């Protein structure tokens, strides 16, 4: 595993049930954050983040039954990481501020490819085109 993969896996493992419940309570804010992302050089980040948020919401609402139990907490971790303004590379740094966010989101999507491919097929999103 690379260090970013380790970071994501450990972050996902640290997500508690209470944090997942809190995530659900704030899902509208996470959706707004994803929908309003305007990041030069990271045009797909908005779509990838929105996909992860929709996945979490559908799993929590029992609209989709997760087959990969690591995908949910890692998705929660990735979206919460994206929503933070100050992280490994602060989002305010021009040109590179969202590079770490994009890497975290990408690691989650690639690390759970079969889960997200299956989910994408259910909701009409081409996973392979997304990643």
Write the pLDDT tens digit of every residue in 47-105. Answer: 999 999 999 999 999 999 999 999 999 999 999 999 987 788 877 777 777 889 999 99
CB atoms within 10 A of CB 63: 12
Average confidence (pLDDT) over 15-44: 89
Contact criterion met (CB below 8 Å) for 75 and 55? yes
- The whole-angstrom separation of Cα 109 and Cα 119 is 11
Q: Given a cut of 80, is residue 42 above it in pLDDT?
A: no
């Amino acid at each position: 595993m690379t260090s970013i993969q380790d970071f994501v896996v450990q972050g996902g493992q640290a997500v508690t049930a209470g944090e997942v419940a809190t995530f659900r309570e704030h899902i509208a804010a996470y959706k707004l954050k994803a929908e309003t992302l305007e990041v030069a050089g990271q045009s797909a980040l908005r779509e990838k983040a929105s996909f992860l948020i929709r996945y979490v919401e559908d799993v929590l609402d029992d609209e989709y039954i997760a087959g990969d139990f690591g995908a949910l907490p890692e998705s929660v971790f990735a979206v919460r990481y994206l929503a933070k303004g100050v992280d490994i590379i602060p989002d305010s740094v021009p040109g590179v501020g969202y590079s770490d966010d994009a890497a975290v989101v990408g690691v989650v999507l690639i690390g759970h490819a079969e889960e997200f491919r299956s989910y994408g097929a259910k909701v009409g999103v081409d996973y392979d085109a997304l990643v």
